[in-house]
Amino acid sequence: MADMDKKGVVYNDEKGVPVIDEDGHYKDGGVVGAMGPGKTGLKRQLKNRHIAMISIGGVIGTGLFLGTAGSLRSGGPVGLLLGYSIMGTITYAVMVCLGEMIAYLPIPGGHIMLAERFVDPAFSFTMGWNYWYNWIIILPAELSASAVLINYWTTSVNNAVWVTICLVVVFIINMFGAGVYGECEFWFASIKVLTITGLIILGLVLDLGGGPNHDRLGFRYWKNPGPFAQYNGIPGNEGRFLAWWSVMTQAAFSFIGTEIVAIAAGEAKNPRKNLPKAIKRVYIRILLFYILGTFFIGLLVPYNNPDLNLSASNAAKSPFVIAIKTAGISGLPSLINACLLTSAWSAASSDLFTSSRALYGLSLAGNAPKLFSRTTRGGLPYVSIIFCGLFGTLAYMAISTSAGKVFGWFANMTAVAGLMTWFGIAVTYIRFHAGLKAQGIDRRTLPYRGLFQPYLGWYVAVSTLVICFFSGWSVFLKGSWDVTNYLPLALFPVLYIGAKFVMRKPIVRAAEMDFYSGIDEILAESFDEPKAKTWYGKVWAFLM
């Protein structure tokens, strides 16, 4: 017979794990069956190749194609490369921490729900709303980027038209469900991968003088105008150091999104097999796309090129497009710009998917109205999608100068909000690791086990806080006072303390953490996929 405590919680006789109370909730607050399709309403529709490309799509976006223009302008080629390299190590550490947890518990709400299990409900509340804010603001930012890219061809049409078209496309993709979103993301991300791979190869050719002008660049721009910009005209090592540090926040904006695979985990097929595969190859994508990409950008375009100014009226924004135009290759810039446009669409589609699932997870945890956890029979959280989609209309603010300035404040804060999400993931992992140790669970039995743990977790927790704290240092320069960049950093502890005061629930003790609820359902959905027998099948299996 099962025992019931004073709160009406039924306990499993064998493990003593809280199962269900009279309201249909686990003792830890999770909804019963939150891991199983058909119980929360979500369906596992994302295939292995979808998850693989979603993990890539979270890395490659307008941050790389467009945002690097501002980073190169303010940091110089070496400052750009160092900034993205260091942020790449933090990104990899985040994914190792997240991968270990989410491969073991691939639940709806991802790291938001994991925070409730391994830290406390107040921390889950804080992470959830911080994460939701991050993505509903990035959504209109990506839509605005789409309009900027289209301006390359024409400026005679009001940008509101392009924003509207892009918003409708993104909304329709998401309203068709996770399966359609995954398929679209697969093809969008494929275009991104082919584009950045082609650009890197082209960058090598142009640098060696293989372009129409036969101008061999080598490391010319590392010598003149120099490896580092002098930030704000500040001379000497101080100016060069600040130039490098100015890249860090923009680099964070570019990398944020790799954790989207955790949010998608609740709708992934065979998650215990497919998620570790996606996590293990993250470092290859970081090295290949971001590190090599920024390296060649610094070789091809000098940091004092006026076209790097994103606030200028001309449309030659992407450093890659600038380099191709400078080399005298006609026609190709338009093709590349079209590929970059699909990148913006892909990123915006992922933004709506992620924000709606974050809101759905908040609702499951009881931290948002239950209305947002409603789904169709096909597993579509339509209420959350519609609500989050409405925030896409903020992109219209970017069209006018005055409203665009206000919107810019919100967009600038997303990098810090994203870093605070990574901080939350690191804290959750540190607690997760402590719980495994306290309960005698061997990490070697986990579906995915990262190296150098829990030290990578501490590395992420400390580094993200340091970057956030110093991210807005430029406000102390003369004439640059603006504290909006620090609002997400200040809001995080305010939300946590407020939620803690209202909920009055203690931090979960390591010995009492719930590692078992829903495991049977997850194991029931796991299966061994057939191994490829042909050489091309093996190559495809490795890539996917």
- Which amino acid, one-letter code, is at 535? W
Q: What SS3 string covers 250-313?
A: HHHHHHCCCCHHHHHHHHECCHHHHHHHHHHCHHHHHHHHHHHHHHHHHHHCCCCCHHHCCCCC
Query: CA–CA separation, 162 vs 158, rounded Å?
Result: 8
pLDDT at 431: 94
**307: number of CA atoms within 13 Å, CB side?**
17
Query: CA–CA separation, 372 vs 357, rounded Å?
Result: 10
Fold of 48-502: Amino acid/polyamine transporter I (1.20.1740)
pLDDT at 5: 40
**pLDDT surpasses 50 at 37:** no
Task: Give the mean pLDDT of 476-505.
Answer: 78
pLDDT at 432: 94
pLDDT at 434: 93
pLDDT tens-place string over residues 180-234: 888 888 888 888 888 888 888 888 888 888 878 788 888 888 988 888 888 777 7
CA 318 vs. chain centroid, Å, equals 21
Domain ranges of the chain: 48-502
Task: Give the mean pLDDT of 428-451.
Answer: 90
pLDDT at 2: 39
pLDDT tens-place string over residues 464-478: 998 888 776 665 665
pLDDT at 353: 86
pLDDT at 9: 36
pLDDT tens-place string over residues 103-112: 888 877 778 8
**pLDDT surpasses 70 at 15:** no
Query: CA–CA separation, 102 vs 111, rounded Å?
Result: 7
Q: How many Å is the Cα radius of gyration of the chain?
A: 23
pLDDT at 119: 92
Indicate the pLDDT class of residue 17, thresholds 50, 70 and 90.
Answer: very low
**pLDDT surpasses 90 at 461:** yes
pLDDT at 386: 92
pLDDT at 425: 94
Task: Give the mean pLDDT of 237-241.
Answer: 80
Between helices 178-207 and 159-175, what is the axis angle to 10°? Answer: 130
**pLDDT surpasses 80 at 24:** no
pLDDT top residue among 65 and 321: 321
**157: number of CA atoms within 13 Å, CB side?**
15
pLDDT at 409: 61
Give the number of other Cβ atoms within 10 Å of residue 374's Cβ: 15
Please tell me whether the peptide bond between 212 and the residue prior to it is cis, using omega within 30 degrees of 0.
no
pLDDT at 50: 66
Indicate the pLDDT class of residue 125, thresholds 50, 70 and 90.
Answer: very high
Query: CA–CA separation, 267 vs 174, rounded Å?
Result: 13
CA distances from 237 to 6, 61, 242, 243, 472 (A): 65, 32, 8, 10, 19
The pLDDT > 70 percentage for the chain reads 75
pLDDT at 265: 65
Indicate the pLDDT class of residue 44, thresholds 50, 70 and 90.
Answer: low
Task: Give the mean pLDDT of 243-256.
Answer: 81
Backbone angle region of 177, left / alpha / beta, with phi > 0 → left and psi within -120 to 50 → alpha: left
Take residue 147 and report the two structure tokens written for it: 């309009």
pLDDT tens-place string over residues 326-370: 888 877 777 877 877 787 778 888 888 888 888 888 888 788 888
**pLDDT surpasses 60 at 527:** no
Query: CA–CA separation, 42 vs 380, rounded Å?
Result: 7
Burial class (CB in 10 A: 0-12, 13-18, 19+), 212: exposed
Take residue 408 and report the two structure tokens written for it: 């810019």
pLDDT tens-place string over residues 272-314: 777 777 777 777 777 778 888 889 888 888 888 887 776 654 4
- What average pLDDT does the chain have? 77
pLDDT top residue among 376 and 12: 376
pLDDT top residue among 415 and 541: 415
Query: CA–CA separation, 199 vs 518, rounded Å?
Result: 45
Q: What angle is formed at CA 20 by the lines to CA 15 and CA 22, rounded to 5 degrees?
A: 145
pLDDT at 39: 45
pTM of the predicted model over 0.85: no
Range with top average pLDDT, 26-30, 489-493, 518-522? 489-493
pLDDT at 379: 78
Indicate the pLDDT class of residue 93, thresholds 50, 70 and 90.
Answer: very high
pLDDT at 193: 81
Task: Give the mean pLDDT of 31-38.
Answer: 37
Take residue 472 and report the two structure tokens written for it: 């807005």
Q: What angle is formed at CA 119 by the lines to CA 371 and CA 446, rounded to 5 degrees?
A: 100
Q: What share of the chain is helix, strand, coil (3-state, %, to 5)?
A: 70, 0, 30
The pLDDT > 90 percentage for the chain reads 12
Task: Give the mean pLDDT of 523-541.
Answer: 60
